[in-house]
Copies of this chain bind each other. A is one copy, B any other.
């Protein structure tokens, strides 16, 4: 390996770390202020860059937002065919330990329904995909009809709605809402096996 190549790959690694640090900072700023309230200046300050330095990595605020969303999905995704219904409850338990990420996601989902929001297309596409994956997971586990009576295609949008809706209630009032417990109740409904849980 030549000296020049070594320099270049070090620079690439540093650039990758810097990029990751920017995405983390952007997540935090969006969680605190929402996307519309966030500024590139605030993200640059948090990561110790000038605005000019930040613009070198992400030329626009929209580009940074899309990178944040894509990064989040890359981290969270489970390979097709390996997701099972019981892992969904684990995902919700995991989310309950990372309110910052959930807050960012929920704030962006909320904003995305306003006119011309740059995340709107991302979320629209994402939900088509998520409903499709969930239907596939449910069909793989239960066949064409779930024990509770619904088809996988009927259950999928409800499952996604429960996950999203519980996140808002939990973010607003974490002591009043047991998000993982409520999600398990919903899964039990789908499975026709709902029972009281000790509260």
Give A contacts to B, CB under 8 Å.
31-34, 36-37, 103, 106-115, 117, 120, 123-124, 127-128, 131, 145, 148-151, 153-155, 157-158, 160-166, 168-169, 171-173, 176-177, 182, 185-186, 188-190, 193-197, 199
Contacts and interface: CB of A to CB of B under 8 A. Distances in A.
A197 B115 CA distance: 33
Contacts of A197: 154
A71 to B, nearest CB: 20
- What number of copies of this chain does the assembly contain? 2
A161 B162 contact: yes
Contacts of A185: 150, 154-155, 158
Given A123-B168, A158-B166, 7 more contacts: A31-B115, A33-B114, A127-B173, A149-B194, A150-B188, A155-B185, A158-B162
B148 A194 contact: yes
A159 to B, nearest CB: 9
Contact of A103 (B32, B113, B151): B113
Contacts of A173: 124, 127-128
Given A164-B164, A165-B163, A182-B154, A149 B193 contact: yes
B172 A158 contact: no
A127 B194 contact: no
5 contacts: A107-B111, A110-B111, A150-B188, A154-B196, A158-B189
A187 to B, nearest CB: 11
A160 B169 contact: yes
A92 B58 CA distance: 41
